[in-house]
Amino acid sequence: MSAVYILWLRQLKRYFRSKSRIVGALGQPLLFLFALGFGFGPIYKQAGQGDYIQFLVPGIMAMTILFTSMFTGIEIIWDRQFGFLKETLVAPVSRFHIMLGRSLGGATIAIFQGLVVFSISFFAGFKVENWLMAPVAIVFMFLTAMLFTALGTAIASFLEDMQGFQLIMNFLIMPTFFLSGALFPLNGLPDVLTYITMFNPLSYGVDALRGALTGTTHFGFLVDFAALGIGGTILLFIGGYLFSKVQI
């Protein structure tokens, strides 16, 4: 497991050395937070739904985790093109441990980005319902981040160019985000959208964060935990299998 720790630490060092990456990853979440939060806030309140900022912030945190986690996979393609991946794969370590270390590093980075957005949200007027539930929120952030980091790694394992990865990511990320309940309540949706949101793993991440931070859930914590835990475990093993087939 020392190899997992080393790869996890390497991911973090690479991330924190790039200050532009840290700042750039916050641009879109903050745009959604302030533009939508204050733009649709009055409409949301007039509809009798309360404070839109309270509803929106957990969804934006989940969006940040989604984007950061998925795009961690592009580092595999980058390392493959420049030969860094070969140096890692020739080490006397199982490829599953390599993939696990990279996934843990990507998940940690995604959680950090989510916490940065969470900190900034207080300037927008967000209030935590119960601070004792903050550790629960971090647990669900980790589960969400691991699930989507594993998915990003699995996709990157059988792609060879960054353009293809970005196209697939954009095809997956935007529908996953918009159909997760991050921007609108899941109650009263048409049947088709209801079924789509039920099969969308991000829906459970958003719901769990919203429940931990604001005290309201749609599915319930047990369902959220089961969906994220089982989904993340399955994708981790799928990602490990695909990563083991990477050709160098």
Residue pLDDT, tens place only, 9-32: 776 776 666 655 666 667 788 888
- Could you tell me the pLDDT band of residue 114, with boundaries at 50, 70 and 90? very high
- DSSP states of the chain as a string? -HHHHHHHHHHHHHHHH-HHHHHHHHHHHHHIIIIIHHHSHHHHHHTT---HHHHHHHHHHHHHHHHHHHHTTHHHHHHHHHTHHHHHHTSSS-HHHHHHHHHHHHHHHHHHHHHHHHHHHGGGT---S-GGGHHHHHHHHHHHHHHHHHHHHHHHHT---HHHHHHHHHHHHHHHHHTTTSSS-STT--HHHHHHHHT-HHHHHHHHHHHHHHS--SS-HHHHHHHHHHHHHHHHHHHHHHHHT---
Range from 70-79, 138-147, 213-222 carrying the lowest mean pLDDT: 70-79
The per-residue pLDDT for 34 is: 86
- Could you tell me the pLDDT band of residue 145, with boundaries at 50, 70 and 90? very high
Residue pLDDT, tens place only, 65-109: 998 888 877 777 777 766 666 666 666 677 777 788 888 888 898
The per-residue pLDDT for 91 is: 65
pTM over 0.85: yes
Q: Which range has the top average pLDDT, 52-56, 75-79, 163-167? A: 52-56
